Chain A
Amino acid sequence: MTARGRNWWVIPPVLFGLFFLLPLVGLAWFAITDGDVAAELGSSTTWDALRLSLLTATFTLVLAVVLGTPLAYLLAASEAGWARLTATLLDLPLVLPPVVSGIALLTVFGRRGYLGDPLAEAGVTLSFTTAAVVLAQLFVAAPYYVRAAYAGFSAMDPRFEGVAYTLGLSRWRTFRSVTLPLVWPALAGGAVLCWARALGELGATLLFAGSLPGRTQTMPLAILSAFESNAGLAGAVSIAVILVGFALVLMVLLHRLSTPGGAYR
């Protein structure tokens, strides 16, 4: 017994940490012993899926930021009942099973969906295209960004903006020079979450966009398809390891980017 007693309380966090770490180690180990990462790295299907994943997730993030930031700002600035209702509705995609989100998208944008015929007449077919992948990811992942941005804008003291206006700063200039730097940490955190969620999206994409290699087959779908093929678990694991590796590198980079020495510390 030391003077401070034993630190029994560290046992649960260590177990919890192992719970997350061990499956990743298992994944890597399985890939090394039974899988063939080298072969998958040499396969064009894998590269297509990886490229598609990064492309669509990034495009989803751009759309979420461009469309979601003004929405979050509007919701935070308004005290009206509809704003609060909308803010609550934004949580809905977070709790929906992604498969349900995919079905919901199909009912509207699918070929036999409510907007299917008008869209077809306009020459737009969405289902089973890369655009559909982005729509599915946007539906599932954008709420993470909008929620974070909404929380950030709500937490900011509106008087900062008021003072800026009296100093002659236009609304846009105030947003750029005052509001944005103040809520930057919230926006960046939301962006990372949104991007990560988009990268891992499976259910909604599968239902709404399908799993066409090179067009709609993102990494999670490629892993699923490998799992269901002759390659089985070994093939799936090999691709999974590649995805985990890329995701890890990119998450680290994004975290770096999103906290440039802290916003104003």
Chain B
Amino acid sequence: MTLHASFQGCAGDFAYDIALAAEHELLVLYGHSGAGKTMALRSIAGLARPDSGTIEIGGRTVFDSAAGIDQPPQQRRTGYVVQEVALFPHLSVERNVLIGVEGSTEARARWGRLRDALHLGGLDNRRPHELSGGQQQRVALARALVRPVDVLLLDEPFSALDDALRADLRTELKRLQREFAVPVVFVTHDLREAHLLADSVAVIDDGRILQLAPRDEVFRRPGARRVAELTGVRNLFAATASGDRVTVEGLELRLPANGLSGPVDLGIRSERCNLRRFDPDEPPPPNCFVGRLVEDLAFGNTHTLRFEPDGVGPRIEVEVAARPYEVLDVPSRNRWVIELPPDDLLVMPQS
């Protein structure tokens, strides 16, 4: 099964231009609220109508503005799960799941399997308000999968659940996704959730997909400054590249060859910066500069440290785990050597 979608439109004065593709995988659609994530899902499901473009689900064209194709949601074979209105409140669990497929023995057999896989035994006659939040989401998942679907669309399905429940449901979702071999588009604004679930990530901002790539590539090689910002890169600078060198605030750094030259955006995650003791008699090693500690925020298991450059180099934020923080005895000194390892430098064409 595959999903290919490329469509454009307006909702009020919000313009969007979405391009998505997914194979048998879990694609996380990641972005802030208001970025257009829900609009994208609704368009794929057939609940919103783009002005132009094409949407192909499992090899079937369900929307093609040029050819005048616009299948109604009933025919698109999508499973759609929304957090807040997960279940029909007036129907029992079983009637919620089997609504629309009552007569089908095949669907009943699938419901049997899903009931076991999602630990929903013995709840058939309960009403949604008698279930826990986690159970409600499991029922909603079962309902979305009880008919053969070609894509599963999940709109922040776990956002109202506590962390432990979310972890369980994520595991179950991954297992179901493998078992049913169906592409999943999972919408979230939670970076950790995106990290945990995604095979690939589409970063969406202001109605546009900024980058769609395998998860590690998006996090390790953001394609643009905005992607880096959205995926939690706290250190971002304007810099000048030439060959395997890049200069930021007078500091020359080595980095792997990347084919970029001239003005670039340079980034590094705060947890990727290394801290070393400062020795006034030794010149700083390559990719290092001296900084003065100006702020120390304790988060329990990590510390976020802010440094002002002492000479050349940028202002920088460094995240240090509690243990090395104590071993180095960070509060005892003001000046530190900050290392920016070449492989952890993110270089992006300037936007």
Whether B72 lies near A162 (C-beta < 8 A) is no
CA distance A35 to B217 in the complex (A): 92
Kindly state whether residue A120 has any CB partner on chain B within 8 Å: no
- The listed residue with most A CB atoms (<10 A of its CB), out of B46, B90, B147, is B90
Kindly state whether residue A88 has any CB partner on chain B within 8 Å: no
CA distance A167 to B85 in the complex (A): 14
222-265 of chain A: CB within 8 A of chain B? 263-264
A181 CB contacts on chain B under 8 angstroms: 90
CA distance A182 to B90 in the complex (A): 7
117-175 of chain A: CB within 8 A of chain B? 157, 159-160, 162-170, 173
Give B91-131 as 1s and 0s: 1 = Cβ < 8 Å from A's Cβ atoms. 10000000111000000000000000000000000010000
Whether B89 lies near A166 (C-beta < 8 A) is no
Whether B85 lies near A159 (C-beta < 8 A) is yes
CA distance A41 to B74 in the complex (A): 59
Whether B46 lies near A165 (C-beta < 8 A) is yes
Interface size on A, residues (CB 8 A): 19
B47 CB contacts on chain A under 8 angstroms: 162, 165-166
B101 CB contacts on chain A under 8 angstroms: 168
CA distance A157 to B90 in the complex (A): 14
B182 smallest CB distance to A (angstroms): 14
B72 CB contacts on chain A under 8 angstroms: 165
Whether B76 lies near A166 (C-beta < 8 A) is yes
Kindly state whether residue B42 has any CB partner on chain A within 8 Å: yes
Q: Identify the closest chain B residue to A169 (Cβ).
A: B100
CA distance A263 to B127 in the complex (A): 12
Whether A165 lies near B88 (C-beta < 8 A) is no
CA distance A157 to B86 in the complex (A): 11
| New contact pairs (19) apart from A162-B47, A166-B74, A168-B100, CB-CB < 8 Å | A159-B82, A159-B84, A162-B45, A162-B82, A163-B85, A164-B88, A165-B47, A165-B72, A166-B46, A166-B47, A166-B80, A167-B100, A167-B144, A167-B147, A168-B74, A168-B101, A170-B74, A182-B90, A264-B89
Give 21 A-B contacts (CB < 8 Å), ordered by A residue. A162-B42, A162-B47, A162-B73, A162-B82, A165-B47, A165-B74, A166-B45, A166-B46, A166-B47, A166-B79, A167-B99, A167-B144, A167-B147, A168-B74, A169-B99, A169-B100, A173-B100, A177-B99, A182-B88, A182-B90, A263-B90
Q: Which residues of A contact B (CB under 8 A)?
A: 157, 159-160, 162-170, 173, 177-178, 181-182, 263-264
